Amino acid sequence: MSLEYMKWVTNNVHTFVPNTMNIVACVYCRKIYETKSYYTMHNCLVCEKCGIDALMVVSHSPLQNLAEHERIALLDKWHDDGFTPIP
């Protein structure tokens, strides 16, 4: 099974603009926030809220042109797909 969100959270450090306000979204903790700084692990952005490397820059993702409630709904779907235990 391929996880739809993986291409936006993998090898994505280049999508972050340092020293500029970036809106980011974490698939794991489902937080959307603004930040000027970033953490990385293996060339992936790491969420400063939960420490998981499931963070994407909103302007470089399908979340870009969505309303806030649509962004949250899509993060919820991706979270369920990638972080819900398989029975």
Sign of CA dihedral 65, 71, 74, 79: positive
Tokens read off for 62: 């399908």
* pLDDT at residue 1 is higher than 70: no
Q: Give 85's pLDDT tier (boundaries 50, 70, 90).
A: confident
Which 3 state secondary structure label does DSSP give 45? strand
Question: What is this structure's pTM?
Answer: 0.93
**pLDDT > 70: percent of the chain:** 99
A 10 A CB-CB count for 60 gives 16
* pLDDT at residue 3 is higher than 90: yes
- The amino acid that residue 35 corresponds to is T
Q: What does the pLDDT average to over 63-87?
A: 94
Q: Read off the pLDDT of residues 23-52 as tens digits, 9 standing for 90 and up.
A: 999 999 999 999 999 999 999 999 999 999
